[in-house]
Structure 1
Amino acid sequence: MPGEVIDRPNPQPPPSNLPEYVSDLLVRLDKPTLADKTNDVIAKYRRAANYIAAAMIFLQDNALLQRDLKFEDIKPRLLGHWGTCPGLTLVYSHLNLLIKKHDLDMIYVVGPGHGAPSILANLWLEGSLAKFYPQCSQDAKGLHNLITGFSTTGGFPSHINAETPGAIHEGGELGYALSVSFGAVMDNPDLIVTCIVGDGESETGPTATAWHGYKFIDPAESGAVLPIIHVNGFKISERTIYGCMDDKEMAALFSGYGYQPRVVDDLEDIDADLSNSMEWALSEIKRIQAAARSGKPIMKPRWPVLILRTPKGWSGPKKVHGQFVEGSFKAHQVPLAAAKTDPEELKMLQAWLESYRPKELFKENGDVVDDIKSIIPTEPERRLGQNKKIYDTYEGLNPIDWRKFVAKKGTSESCMKAVGKLLEQVVKDNPKTFRIFSPDEFESNKLDAVLNSTNRNFQWDQFSNARGGRVTETLSEHQCQGWLQGYTLTGRVGLFPSYEAFLGIIHTMMVQYAKFGKMAGEASWRKPIGSINYLETSTWTRQEHNGFSHQNPSFIGAVLNLKPDAARVYFPPDANTFLSTMAHCLQSKNYVNLMVGSKQPSAVFLSPDEAENHCRAGASVWKFASTEEGINPDVVLVGIGAELTLEVIAAAELLRKKSPELRVRVVNVTDLMILGASSSHPHALTDEAFDALFTSDVPIHFNYHGYANELKGLLFGRPNMHRVSIASYNEEGSTTTPFNMMLLNGTSRYDVAIQAVKGAARRNDRVRLHLHELVSELNGLIKSTQKFIVEKKTGMIASLRIVNYGIETTE
């Protein structure tokens, strides 16, 4: 019938119509069986891990099945994902063999993040849980705590996260495991990351792009990723695309990507098949690396990829109530969802768990038998859950002297050009611990000074190949974010510069990463790591030429919503403050740093000493732009953002001429977080400090780069906020001029001056006397300027020049 789900065990994809020679693209190996002893031990190991994983989903008591199950032994709420677990354990068991045999430095990145029962079971078997969580000791009590606590209050969650030893990838949102893996091996020449990618995850755009990641890996300087695609055919309730592709189609796809594919699917002797395939893959990795490190690199090497075909929920219930479970989507989560209340399902659960023969696997004290432990790497740091590159490897950067690159106060300089010179020095001083991951906008963002001392790192380009480039540039923001995460979580420091409008593409990736960071901070065994650093340029204020689609500061709000311990948002107003801010962010730890700035030349307002003091305080009164250095003002004008601050200063200068009796205090805020209500953020000003900066009762007008609601949310809770008005980006603008962008969004100098006059009139009778006249004049200037822009197709407007501590207008 139309729409009917055809449910059958272990379905095979229909044959393709590709020619037979495509099959020759697959790597074929002889498959000698493993030694009997090894085969027996690895089978026991997998039975033990699968038993523990299944028990974790169901049992709140009777963890070792010492008696028949009763309803009270079953958890009241059954949570967890069984379907992927047997495959994850199969791979884990063979990685143990491979590591032990070859003394490998390896970590395991798991794309199917909800396979936590499998990973936790393996971590318990190898003793990694006991190392970091003594309550999960390798005995009956520790096993009871693990099994009964899983996915309950105080226990491990049902997905892999920062609480999971060995993890560098948050297993919530799918699509990023492979790019994170490539980021982890960069500048880690001895590291191999085995990344298992689910066939459901493979349907995401980020994963589809991530297959190209090895084209940015120089095997002379970096490690290797061994991707394993776990094709079990089903997602939560539907077939997968890869599950419907036969071997020839998979071979054509991955050969096209540039890999050597090998299918692992001999269910009769899966251990021999996988063991031989891993040995082959490792030999290929070593061959490619040896060539590169001997000075004779292989141009466009074809890295290995394994395609592992096993049934969904393998070794679980075959059928339940007459319907196939193993090999179907019904194995995805909880195969026996009614085991708490249905006698038949309870009996099936008992049979399922007994099928692993736990009495052969566990000693009387609850630990596993010695045979099982014999395949686990002897050296603890070689175990997948205890590799120090995952939890204690921060290297940091050499000290950064930003003052070498400062601009002279009173001149004009592009913030991004100044930062580019600083980053060039950082690259020189940190050739193996710092990288820039950029969408295809690096030179457009005026950071090209970096390229004076380094190349781009793109291995499939003959002019970038094997040159140690520190700039990794690609059009995919998802890829850049994944690389940055993997690189940062394994101890190094990275930077992600981007057009402002398109950082929102990785909004949820950033949030997932921040959640990982929050939980990592609560895990005492995880040591600090470098901050994750975003540089937001090509902002809406100067994207008038690209139009409305390029005007979007929403990523600011995404960072503001993070936990206060992590969120940092900076708006350096000139080149010198930007240099100070960049140096601080690159040397900080555990934060999500967002720096927002302009790439166009703009006034340098502050000397190096003033810039440092300003950045340290987060905000300050700009006496040179204020009336009588800001003493006893009628209104406080606040600029947040380089262009928005320029308009505030221009408004203050305009008011000197139009309303000399109006007293103005100009404040610039560079650290947005200081505005939050007292104690809401580590940087938040006390109410006393807030009043000292903004006064306690004078009207305040904010000219803010982002959305007004962000600022309202920060200021909520501060006393006497009825005096505040806010102008900000208001979703207006298209192809026009830079100044018209300000006019359209109500953030121009004329708009700021109008708000200043209205605010000051509440306190100053002289200003109030001329309120209507002056506001009318300023509104007239707005209309005449817009008319001029439309007619003349240009937006020339008076600019500012800082002269000592005064301001002059230049035409």
Structure 2
Amino acid sequence: MPLRGESLVAFLSDGAFEEQRGSDWSPRWWRAEDCGLVTPVMILNGRRIEERTEIAQDGGADWLDRHLRLNGFDPIEIDGRDPAAVAWAILESEERLKRFTADPNRLYPARLPYVVARTVKGFGFPGAGTNRAHNLPLEGNPHTDSAARAAFNAAAAALFVPPRELEPALGALATHELQRRPLESGHPAARRAPPAPVRPAPSPEAGPRSPMAAIDDWFVSFVDANPGLRVRLGNPDELRSNGMGRTLERLRHRVNRPEPGLPEAVDGAVVTALNEEAVAGAALGNKGGLNLIVSYEAFAVKMLGLLRQEILFARRQREIGVPPQWLSVPLVATSHTWENGKNEQSHQDPTLAEALLGEMSDTARVLFPVDANSAVAALRGVYGGRGEVACLVVPKRIGPCLVDAAAAEALWARGAGVIHGDPAAAEMQIVAVGAYQAREAIAAAVRLERSGRRVCVVALLEPGRFRAPRDEIEARHTASPEDLEACFPERLPRLILTHTRPEPMLGLLRRLDGGPRRTRALGYISRGGTLDTPGMLFANRCTWAHAAVACADLLGADASGVLTPAELAAVRGDAHPRILQVSPPEGSSS
């Protein structure tokens, strides 16, 4: 978190140490060249909710000391009930790091100081050191129960400092102006407001292109255009295989001992570990800089708890009128549900996008680009925002460009846009949420048009823009009734073809839903395996043919007038699905 020249003290609980082990990587990632001083202080009280912590069970402070040293830390043990000891330990920690920084021959990893403040849980309150200390330590109401009142006063005496002693102490410590030291409320980490970044114009794509490759190219130019912003790229797995090869070569893995010939460097900006929460934390903590998180979609869900806490805190800041000013952080979820069959259903899961769509859409933005141009436009747009977490669900395989650069910018600005047909003349609308879904939707529309039907296809880049707003802040982010009608005319029956499970998307898009007779949704129905993309689409009944049948049904037409008998047999499961690939309709992705 701290930039060079800053210092940060972070108080941690031993329970959090057990649950969130990402901090174990800190000595491997901290660098004097681009990080400020950091002092972790663990409150070692030995108890979690219902029992002792593992630290206490395994040997207490002595065990923790060995563990910390093994993980590259330099522990300092103190009496956590003594404020003077805590103050000394902070000063001593910073002095140790300063000595390391001043050494011209320093080698990494740095042995980061780690203060261990021994105490008992609930010190200064009744029930200290027992499970009572976790929740409400009093066994009665002190207002009406004299025994509870006496117990509270007796325990709190250990914390009480008479005003005649406290006031001179406060006066002695109130030297912020003299020492040029900000109050905690004014700490730089609490008031991040980096300058607006330079966002290069995207290079328009016309032919088939991998959306991830387009993002890769643009992001390198973005980094180069902003040399004053510290970069952190959180990477829990394989960056190159996810289409970010140029970015990896430019930023390099952050390691202590670079291996010759590999994209590694001591000062690398790619923070890599097989721990999704840890690498996401490395990016989210860099609020004074520029950040990106790239992950397989199925495993990005492991970041959800951390992302949600960030989103909630930022949203609360908006609610009280002090919106956060750090640059918005994108999470690119790729190698996703519809294109990742090599490891069976363990790698096919749209849960993250569905869960984030449940958060407030002005702070948690979920985006479904349909091609390379819209992927770059969405990423570029995210970096123009402040205090937002945005999840972009992006395919990495090569696909056609469905919108040009100008249309991609319009898609970002509005959240949705027509990619086929004319809504004013249409009698049926297909709403595509996702890249593969957009291709299948266009293919279905083409086939329906051959039978005389007028169909338009709308790409829904940001579904949260078209939800029913839940408060005034979200209402400022969502589409007006006029914008809604312009994109989704109420008169049209519509099919929603979605990357996600159909039920969450139907619930989110209640404003578009004309009821079961006028609105249907096709999406991931938890069917998968070692299948390619056409196989995934077929298994989940989301091919162009399934979409065409659903549209025909909504129009009250006979599907046999749209599909051939062999194609209908395949849709019903009575013929091999390869029939839908042998002679695909124009515009199909099959």
Deviations 1:552-606 (A, max 9, x none): 1111121111123323221111111111111010121122212111110000122
Distance across 2 between alignment mates of 1:710 and 1:266: 48
Q: Which residues of 2 match residues 731-742 of structure 1 at below 5 A?
A: 731-742=526-537
Between stretches 457-466 and 706-715, larger displacement belongs to 457-466
1:250 to 52, 60, 64: 64
1:636 to 419, 423, 429: 429
Report if the CA contact (8 A) 1:572-1:642 is conserved: yes
Task: Give the secondary structure class of the aligned counterpart of 1:614.
Answer: helix
- The answer to whether residue 237 in structure 2 is matched with residue 434 in structure 1 is no
1:675 to 453, 457, 466: 466
Specify whether residues 351 and 468 from structure 1 end up closer, same or farther in structure 2 by C-alpha distance, changes over 3 A only.
closer
1:217 to 30, 36, 51: 30
* Structure-1 residue corresponding to 2:149: 346
Specify whether residues 690 and 393 from structure 1 end up closer, same or farther in structure 2 by C-alpha distance, changes over 3 A only.
closer
Report if the CA contact (8 A) 1:217-1:458 is conserved: no
* Structure-2 residue corresponding to 1:304: 113
2:283 to 484, 506, 520: 484
Q: Which runs of 5+ in 2 are unaligned?
A: none
Deviation at 1:508, TM superposition (A): 2.2
Deviations 1:197-252 (A, max 9, x none): 22222221x23x32122201222221232222222222233222222314542332
Distance across 2 between alignment mates of 1:697 and 1:600: 36
- The answer to whether residue 538 in structure 2 is matched with residue 743 in structure 1 is yes
Deviation at 1:675, TM superposition (A): 2.9
Report if the CA contact (8 A) 1:423-1:450 is conserved: yes
Distance across 1 between alignment mates of 2:275 and 2:582: 37
Task: Give the secondary structure class of the aligned counterpart of 2:40.
Answer: strand
2:167 to 360, 365, 369: 369
2:101 to 271, 289, 298: 289
Deviation at 1:809, TM superposition (A): 7.4
Deviations 1:134-174 (A, max 9, x none): xxxxxxxxxxxxxxxxxxxxxxxxxxxxxxxxxxxxxxxxx
Task: Give the secondary structure class of the aligned counterpart of 2:12.
Answer: strand
Distance across 2 between alignment mates of 1:265 and 1:609: 63
1:613 to 398, 410, 420: 410
- The answer to whether residue 138 in structure 2 is matched with residue 336 in structure 1 is yes
Report if the CA contact (8 A) 1:758-1:771 is conserved: no
Q: Which amino acid counterpart does residue 481 of structure 1 have in structure 2?
A: A
Q: Which amino acid counterpart does residue 676 of structure 1 have in structure 2?
A: R
Deviation at 1:683, TM superposition (A): 4.3
Distance across 2 between alignment mates of 1:316 and 1:719: 55
Report if the CA contact (8 A) 1:438-1:497 is conserved: yes
Deviation at 1:677, TM superposition (A): 3.6
Which is higher, the Rg of structure 1 or of structure 2?
1
Deviations 1:447-467 (A, max 9, x none): 111123222222354567765
Deviations 1:712-763 (A, max 9, x none): 2123245734411110111011112210110111110110111222223x3x
Report if the CA contact (8 A) 1:539-1:598 is conserved: yes
Q: Which amino acid counterpart does residue 215 of structure 1 have in structure 2?
A: R
Specify whether residues 346 and 399 from structure 1 end up closer, same or farther in structure 2 by C-alpha distance, changes over 3 A only.
same
Task: Give the secondary structure class of the aligned counterpart of 2:254.
Answer: coil
The number of equivalent residue pairs is: 580
* Structure-2 residue corresponding to 1:201: 16
Distance across 1 between alignment mates of 2:133 and 2:469: 51
Q: Which amino acid counterpart does residue 171 of structure 2 have in structure 1?
A: K
Report if the CA contact (8 A) 2:449-2:455 is conserved: no
* Structure-2 residue corresponding to 1:107: none
- The answer to whether residue 517 in structure 2 is matched with residue 715 in structure 1 is no
Distance across 2 between alignment mates of 1:406 and 1:701: 30
Question: What TM-score does the superposition give when structure 1 sets the normalisation length?
Answer: 0.66
Specify whether residues 465 and 382 from structure 1 end up closer, same or farther in structure 2 by C-alpha distance, changes over 3 A only.
farther
Q: Which runs of 5+ in 1 are unaligned?
A: 1-183, 318-324, 363-367, 801-806
2:78 to 264, 279, 282: 264
- The answer to whether residue 568 in structure 2 is matched with residue 779 in structure 1 is yes
Deviation at 1:383, TM superposition (A): 4.3
Deviations 1:419-442 (A, max 9, x none): 001111122222333321121121
Deviation at 1:333, TM superposition (A): 3.9
Deviation at 1:799, TM superposition (A): 6.8
Q: Which amino acid counterpart does residue 743 of structure 1 have in structure 2?
A: F
Distance across 2 between alignment mates of 1:201 and 1:652: 53
Report if the CA contact (8 A) 1:396-1:433 is conserved: no
* Structure-2 residue corresponding to 1:138: none
1:416 to 212, 220, 224: 212
Q: CA RMSD in A?
A: 3.0
* Structure-2 residue corresponding to 1:696: 490
Specify whether residues 785 and 233 from structure 1 end up closer, same or farther in structure 2 by C-alpha distance, changes over 3 A only.
same
* Structure-2 residue corresponding to 1:49: none
Specify whether residues 690 and 262 from structure 1 end up closer, same or farther in structure 2 by C-alpha distance, changes over 3 A only.
closer
Q: Which amino acid counterpart does residue 369 of structure 1 have in structure 2?
A: E
Deviations 1:319-346 (A, max 9, x none): xxxxxx3444433444333123321222
Task: Give the secondary structure class of the aligned counterpart of 2:425.
Answer: coil
- The answer to whether residue 440 in structure 2 is matched with residue 647 in structure 1 is yes
Report if the CA contact (8 A) 2:328-2:382 is conserved: yes
Distance across 2 between alignment mates of 1:810 and 1:252: 57
Task: Give the secondary structure class of the aligned counterpart of 1:543.
Answer: coil
Report if the CA contact (8 A) 2:490-2:512 is conserved: no
Distance across 2 between alignment mates of 1:197 and 1:514: 21
Specify whether residues 589 and 745 from structure 1 end up closer, same or farther in structure 2 by C-alpha distance, changes over 3 A only.
same
Distance across 2 between alignment mates of 1:664 and 1:744: 25
* Structure-2 residue corresponding to 1:560: 357
Question: What TM-score does the superposition give when structure 2 sets the normalisation length?
Answer: 0.89
Distance across 2 between alignment mates of 1:251 and 1:388: 30
Report if the CA contact (8 A) 2:570-2:576 is conserved: no
Specify whether residues 534 and 719 from structure 1 end up closer, same or farther in structure 2 by C-alpha distance, changes over 3 A only.
closer
Task: Give the secondary structure class of the aligned counterpart of 1:412.
Answer: coil
Report if the CA contact (8 A) 2:327-2:385 is conserved: yes
2:299 to 492, 496, 502: 502
